[in-house]
Amino acid sequence: MGSLILRLNIGSLTLGLDIGSLTLGVDIGSLTQGVDIGSLTLGLDIGSLTLGLDIGSLTLRLDIGSLTLGVDIGSLTQGVDMGSLTLGLDIGSLTLGLDIGSLTQGEDIGSLTQGVDIGSLTLRLDIGNLTLRLDIGSLTLGQDIGSLTVGVDIGSLTQGVDIGSLALGLDIGSLTLGLDVGSLTLGLDIGSLTLGLDVG
């Protein structure tokens, strides 16, 4: 068999992330006047991840034993090494909106809804001669957070922080961004599903 292509086409997909309690903390030892941040790089470190696809009355389950999502920058290490596993995520258009009326240092937010609207999503998994591709026509990812505390603990902060572009890649002496999720429920609601297997 020369090559195997497994394609999963989903007409419409709604992915909801329900977090009982979320604490997002940024601890900066010292930030002084005139700091220029070129870019911000985010990393995803997953302790153990199980992705199961059971099709009977279609159940798509994502079980995460222990999940650590965060940026631990000291000497910045960028990338995920998975042996000989290539996972490609192509996003046609991505809008990430976080709307906070006004936020001051250490302010508690009663409730927060953060939505990610992706126009088109292609998820491709290449292993040897096997290609697993997930094409999603329309994807809405919504986070419904019961209670959110955003705390910024800054040892020393003065005015004049100039951020060149805050879009993935951060050059700070030491920054710890932690996401602590008390309970996590991930649900998938798929309107229509077409599973095609093309063997070359």
Single out the residue of 13, 7, 6, 8 nearest to residue 119, CA to CA.
13
> pTM for this structure?
0.21
Q: Are strands 139-154 and 4-28 parallel, antiparallel or unpaired?
A: parallel
- What is the band of 134 on the pLDDT scale with cuts at 50, 70, 90? low
Pick the most confident of 11-25, 36-50, 52-66, 97-111. 11-25
Average pLDDT (119-139) is: 53
Other residues' Cβ atoms within 10 Å of the Cβ of residue 16 = 14
Pick the more confident residue, 175 or 193: 193
